[in-house]
Amino acid sequence: MPAGRPSKLTDEMKAKIIRFVRAGNYYNVACRAAGVGERTFMRWMEMGREAKSGRFRQFWQEVLSAEAEAEALHVLNITKAGVTDWKASARFLAAKYPDRWAEKRAIDITSGGKRIKGYAVSADPANWNKDEEIDGTGKGTGD
């Protein structure tokens, strides 16, 4: 920041950004709503992350805390709703533990074991002009 130029990170600006982040907004939305550029915000966050103390360090910590508070509040809302609506609990579990609770969506792109016409594509540029027909297993037929 050039000498003599006052920072846009005023107490008022800081309070606006923190309020919008605490409400659950993404950083870019919080920046637009507060009237500050996203690159400026990200520079402040980087300065705060690297600083041991000071205004930017405090700002960085408050933004991270506000973000955690927003998440915790919404988890609490979902947990409360889950008492009377099982779908809220199911949605929470699917988002939090997708490998155990998310709906598995697989699309069968095989031929059901029947031979299909297609071509194998090699990652090796030396083989790019060598078309090879593939069977339903994905292996070349050598034909």
Long-range contacts of 53-58 (CB under 8 A, 24+ apart): 55/7, 55/9, 56/9
Residue 12 falls in which region: left (phi positive, over 0), alpha (psi -120 to 50) or beta: alpha
pLDDT of residue 96: 86
pLDDT of residue 104: 82
In this structure, are residues 62 and 70 in contact, taking their beta carbons and an 8 Å threshold? Answer: no
pLDDT of residue 19: 98
Angstrom distance (rounded) from CA 101 to CA 56: 40
pLDDT of residue 66: 97
pLDDT of residue 7: 87
pLDDT of residue 108: 61
Query: What is the CATH number assigned to the segment(s) 11-101?
Result: 1.10.10
Angstrom distance (rounded) from CA 126 to CA 22: 55
Rounded to two decimals, the pTM is: 0.63
- The values of phi and psi at residue 16, to 5°, are -65, -50
pLDDT digits (tens, 9 = 90+) for 31-65: 999 999 999 999 999 999 999 999 999 999 999 99
Determine the residue type at 139.
K
Angstrom distance (rounded) from CA 118 to CA 143: 12
What does the domain layout of the chain look like in residue ranges? 11-101
Which secondary structure element, helix H or strand E, spans residue 132, and what is its range? strand 132-133
Positions of the chain with pLDDT lower than 50, given as ranges: none
